[in-house]
Amino acid sequence: MRAWIKSLVLPAFFVFLAMGGCARSGEEGPDGSVEKYHSGSLFMSIKRDVPRVIYIDARDPSGPLSVTPEEIIDAIRSENFEITDSPSKAGYILHINIIKDGKVDPRVFQDLVRAGYGGEANFSGSGARALLADMILVQRNVPTAKRPSRERLQNISARNALDSGQTRVGLLLEGDDAPANDRLFYSALAEELRNVLTPHSED
C-alpha cells in the first residue's frame, strides 16, 4: 500500500476496530443466494469547491487491473464525476484492492470482513465461494482557477487530503462449487460508491 494511503487510513482504521461491526445484506442473484457484507464506510462530505474529478487505482492479487470494471465506471459517471488518468489533477482518489477470491468457511469470512480495511485476509475452510475487497476514497486539494496559489500543487501527499473513508466489502455465494461472479461483485462495489458520491451531502 502506498505510504500516503497508509498515513490517511491507519488512524481511522484503529478507531473503527474499537467500534467493531459488520453489516450484512442479501439478495437473489443469477447464481443463487448472495450475501453482501461490509465494515467501515467511504462516506464523506462532498464539498462544492473540490472538482468532481476522480482517479481510480484498481488492483487484484496479480497487480493493477488493465481495465477498470464498467460497473465502477458507470456508477461514478452517473454521479456526474469525470474520470482522469492523472492523480495530480483529481479531487478524489479511489483505491480498490480486490484481495481474495476463493473457497472459505462463512464464519471465517465474516470475521475477515469484520477485521476491516487492511485487516487479515487469509481464507480457510470451505462451504462457500467468496470475494473480498478493500476500498479507500480520498478527497483532496487540487489546483483550481479560483485558487491560483495551488497551481503547482501536483502531488497526492497526505498533507493535501481534506477527508477520507475506507471500507472492506465482501460477497458470499452459497456452496463450494458456486462460480466466481465478478460482475455481481463489481455491482456491489458500484452500489457502495453511488451511495457515497451522490451530491446530497454537499456543503
Domain ranges of the chain: 3-201
Q: What pLDDT digit, counting tens, does each position of 121-169 carry?
A: 999 999 998 989 999 999 988 755 455 444 444 445 566 788 888 999 9
Q: Which range, 26-35, 84-93, 173-182, has the best average confidence (pLDDT)?
A: 84-93
39-59 pLDDT tens trace:
998 887 777 788 899 999 999
Element (H, E) at 56: strand 53-60
Task: Quickly tell me which residue has 465494515 as its cell.
Answer: 39
pTM to 2 decimal places: 0.75
pLDDT computed for residue 83 by the predictor? 95
Contact 99, 135 (CB under 8 A): no
Helix and strand counts by DSSP (H, E) for the chain: 4, 8
